[in-house]
Amino acid sequence: MREIPRIAFYTLGCKVNQNETEAFSGQFREKGYEIVDFTAEADVYIINTCTVTHLADRKSRQMIRRALKVNPQAQIVVTGCYAQTDAEAIRKIAGVSLIVGTNEKSRLVELVEDLLKGKLLKGKEQETTINKPAPQIFVRKYQQGQEFEEIKLEKSIERSRAYLKVQEGCDQFCSYCIIPYARGPVRSRSLESTLAEAERLIKAGFREIVLLGIHLGAYGRDLGEGENLVYLLKHLLPLTEQVRWRLGSLEPVEVSPELLDLMLGYRNFCPHLHLPLQSGHDKILKAMNRPYTTEQYLEIITDIRKKIPDIALTTDIMVGFPGETDEHFQEYLKFVEKVAFSRLHVFKYSPRRGTPAASFSGQISPAVKEARSRKMIRLGEKLAKLYAQKFLGQTLDVLVEEKVAEHTWEGSSANYLKVRFNSDEAPRGQIIPIYLKKVEKNYCFGDVFQLQ
């Protein structure tokens, strides 16, 4: 092996996972590892998996195999939610070296180092077909009293927007969802530690920070009296005007009047909420164990819009849940149209082993799910355009994220519109005022606003 080990990362799934991979990558960099692209030949590959649907499982396995193809002799390390819930399936992929569950993440770097030093392999005689020992498995159940694990984020992050994870776990147990099993109950990051991390990110020059959690609205439930999300935001928003803040996914019933007041009061609090709807039919919502009816959801949205009329409301929607009929689905489309979301994330229901819904009767065929998903995605595109059109002729502050063509850049506005513009400079990471001129299929186009 090289003197300076090369390490590569691949992340599947949610923003929390991306944030955790970034934290690992920073820790390895500090230890002197060279970080390389996932397609390059590396000594160690870390695959941070997702298991929210069977497609996520499949993609996780594919990426493990892809790494093995690039370098069959490399150490393949698999972590994340799929590693936690189905280590057995991963163990069967010949060539995997190490499986690290979600409750051992804080030890990942140490375990990889032990692996490279050969410590972990001692005493293992079982050989797999490609002449590597059987994988070492570090997966254990969540233990009572286990606290929020702080994995430090390093500065060298390749994105414009920083993620700040403040909460882990979920105890809502929606009937379709495997995540509470994969990540355990609610734990929150302390105010002190969150502030310290925020200061570091601000110093590093990030202009936007996204607060993340698996169940973000449950933030603070395990901390002291009154320590909730609003309390946290009251400390974060005044830190500096240079940084704007965005919230990750929030349960609709957790949007409080105080939260909306903060959004109104602070210009650096992005007017955007992601409020998962999951289904547009009351019977299905009930079977999903969601804590609201469509009527209540609509009331919540109406109240939000009364205060912040142009707010961006995005959502997650699942199609093909057991028992969902064509009629339900039609109502569903009407409801989504009525709410007029500005962006939809559409998921096809996927039965997850061990969740109640997996054994519900009335499972829907893949073809029907596919057709419904397409219709829903099309509606989402239409609604996104309608929302974007409202902002034509206005100048919005755009955080520049990536170059999409020669001289063309793309970024996001505070209200989460994707905006493109031409520039000869390299403005990645900056916030630039853009005058919106037209709406294309998946983005808006505008010009850099210049004072005459």
Interacting residues toward ligand 5AD by CB under 6 A = 52-53, 176-177, 276, 278, 316, 318, 347, 349-350, 352
Of 227 and 316, which has the nearer Cβ to ligand 5AD? Answer: 316
Of 97 and 278, which has the nearer Cβ to ligand 5AD? Answer: 278
Of 172 and 430, which has the nearer Cβ to ligand 5AD? Answer: 172
Of 356 and 433, which has the nearer Cβ to ligand 5AD? Answer: 356
Q: Directed axis angle between helix 326-339 and helix 294-307, to 10°?
A: 10
The dihedral of CA 97, 103, 105, 111: what is its sign? Answer: negative
Burial of 171 (0-12, 13-18, 19+ CB in 10 A): exposed
- Tell me how far, at minimum, the Cβ of 116 lies from ligand 5AD, in Å: 34
- Tell me how far, at minimum, the Cβ of 23 lies from ligand 5AD, in Å: 20
The four Cα atoms 381, 385, 388, 391 give a dihedral, to 10 degrees, of -170
Instruction: List CB contacts of 435: < 8 A, sequence separation 6 or more.
Output: 393, 394, 395, 446, 447, 448, 449
Integer Cα distance of 274 and 216 in angstroms: 11
Of 54 and 155, which has the nearer Cβ to ligand 5AD? Answer: 54
Q: Token pair 């998921």 is at which residue?
A: 347
- Tell me how far, at minimum, the Cβ of 392 lies from ligand 5AD, in Å: 31
- Tell me how far, at minimum, the Cβ of 55 lies from ligand 5AD, in Å: 9
Max CA-CA distance within the chain?
75
- Tell me how far, at minimum, the Cβ of 299 lies from ligand 5AD, in Å: 21
Token output for 186:
């609610």
User: Are residues 397 and 243 in contact, defined by beta-carbon separation less than 8 angstroms?
Assistant: no
- Tell me how far, at minimum, the Cβ of 237 lies from ligand 5AD, in Å: 26
Of 74 and 182, which has the nearer Cβ to ligand 5AD? Answer: 182
Integer Cα distance of 312 and 416 in angstroms: 7
Integer Cα distance of 72 and 12 in angstroms: 21
Of 52 and 431, which has the nearer Cβ to ligand 5AD? Answer: 52
Of 210 and 318, which has the nearer Cβ to ligand 5AD? Answer: 318
Q: Token pair 């997650």 is at which residue?
A: 316
Integer Cα distance of 147 and 320 in angstroms: 36
Of 9 and 349, which has the nearer Cβ to ligand 5AD? Answer: 349
Burial of 4 (0-12, 13-18, 19+ CB in 10 A): exposed
- Tell me how far, at minimum, the Cβ of 298 lies from ligand 5AD, in Å: 19
Of 148 and 347, which has the nearer Cβ to ligand 5AD? Answer: 347
| Residue among 408, 430, 406 nearest 419 (CA) | 408
| Residue among 263, 355, 269, 373 nearest 318 (CA) | 373
- Tell me how far, at minimum, the Cβ of 54 lies from ligand 5AD, in Å: 8
Q: Token pair 């709807």 is at which residue?
A: 277
Q: Detail the DSSP E strand segments found in 5-107.
A: 6-11, 34-36, 44-49, 75-80, 98-100
Q: Detail the DSSP E strand segments found in 166-266.
A: 167-168, 187-188, 208-212, 244-247
Could you give the angle at the alpha carbon of 313 between the alpha carbons of 337 and 210, nearest 5°?
Answer: 155
- Tell me how far, at minimum, the Cβ of 303 lies from ligand 5AD, in Å: 22
- Tell me how far, at minimum, the Cβ of 53 lies from ligand 5AD, in Å: 5
- Tell me how far, at minimum, the Cβ of 352 lies from ligand 5AD, in Å: 5
Of 355 and 412, which has the nearer Cβ to ligand 5AD? Answer: 355
